[in-house]
Structure 1
């Protein structure tokens, strides 16, 4: 079943952007082109941690790539978006909460996909989020992040302190606004 966007998704995003622009940080859901670029490195059968899934554009792309809905852990801070995700993805594990305080369990994820507005966050908060996410990832796993900015949204000092490396993977001009995708991983 395709749970693609409804016209109301755009209105929901816009409304939340007006009320909390630094928390939502986007005026519209991510485009299908950005969703494809963000999930291009994901393989069927992987367990995925998704941070800031919003209305589910990346989630839907993950399902199209063959990820089982039951293998998704979606962490969303916005109660309205979380309620929508529960409705659209009932087999996924959905956590209403902060990405810096991820739930602890034995299952490590094979990759992380992030729709969080890292560029608008202070460096200590970005560090807490990445530390928590990499604490939930298997060794060798990647963390996928997009940005509307001209460079990696994670400051070099944060990457260095956490022992991470970031690589630009794609530019997506057909998104509102245009975006770039980065893959972060632990240094080998």
Structure 2
């Protein structure tokens, strides 16, 4: 039997962290409380959902509990052991084993994105590529949801400004280990873009 089928999630996570600490950047899966917080604004009416860095599928399960059809989920996971586990657990979902910064061109039309990626451990250029690629694939006023263990949004303000995005704090989850905060990232309106550019020029 394949190891990913019989290894408990926390041990699989720890093993992946030991082998690739900068890519995984956590020693255990996110809690159910954090999963509920980061998916709180998403409903079955939202449409297809893009999930970046789902790991063992904690956020994926929360999306299913909210009524999102499994077939409406696209899961992007670069860690082979996690990708294999996701295919087993969510056979109707589309699992893409690739880097979130280089999504396939046909991967688009999403109404929301949920990210479990460790943005704080990534260089700003990589964060910018991930956000730019995700928003190219989000429709209309769709939102990008990101959590962090840090005291502020993990996307640098300069990156948000260059991409025409705004980040808003949504929820604090003290009972996660470690405690985490959830942010919602959206496109700026044209007026907001002008105001941001004026502020940046001072």
Q: Unaligned stretches of 5+ in structure 1?
A: 1-5
Q: Unaligned stretches of 5+ in structure 2?
A: 1-5, 190-202
| Local SS of the residue matching 1:58 | helix
CA distance in 2, matches of 1:79, 1:112: 21
CA change 1:150–1:68 in 2 (3 A) is same
CA distance in 1, matches of 2:14, 2:55: 12
In the TM superposition, what whole-angstrom CA distance separates every residue of 1:37-79 from its partner, at most 9, and x where no partner exists? Answer: 0100101142100000000000000000000000001000000
Q: TM-score scaled by structure 1?
A: 0.95
CA distance in 2, matches of 1:58, 1:150: 22
Q: Which residue of the partner structure matches residue 52 of structure 1? A: 53
In the TM superposition, what whole-angstrom CA distance separates every residue of 1:82-104 from its partner, at most 9, and x where no partner exists? Answer: 00000000000000000011122
CA distance in 2, matches of 1:33, 1:7: 23
> Highest CA radius of gyration, 1 or 2?
2
Q: Which residue of the partner structure matches residue 39 of structure 1? A: 39
What is the Cα-based RMSD across aligned positions, in Å?
A: 1.2
| Local SS of the residue matching 1:168 | strand
Comparing both structures, which one devotes a greater share of its residues to helix? 2
Q: Which residue of the partner structure matches residue 150 of structure 2? A: 149
What aligned pairs does 1:36-185 form with structure 2 within 5 A after superposition?
36-45=36-45, 46-105=47-106, 107-185=108-186
Kept after mapping to 1: 8 A contact 2:31/2:176: yes
| Local SS of the residue matching 2:171 | strand
In the TM superposition, what whole-angstrom CA distance separates every residue of 1:115-146 from its partner, at most 9, and x where no partner exists? Answer: 00001100000000000000110010000000
Kept after mapping to 1: 8 A contact 2:113/2:144: yes
TM-fit CA distance, 1:20: 1.3
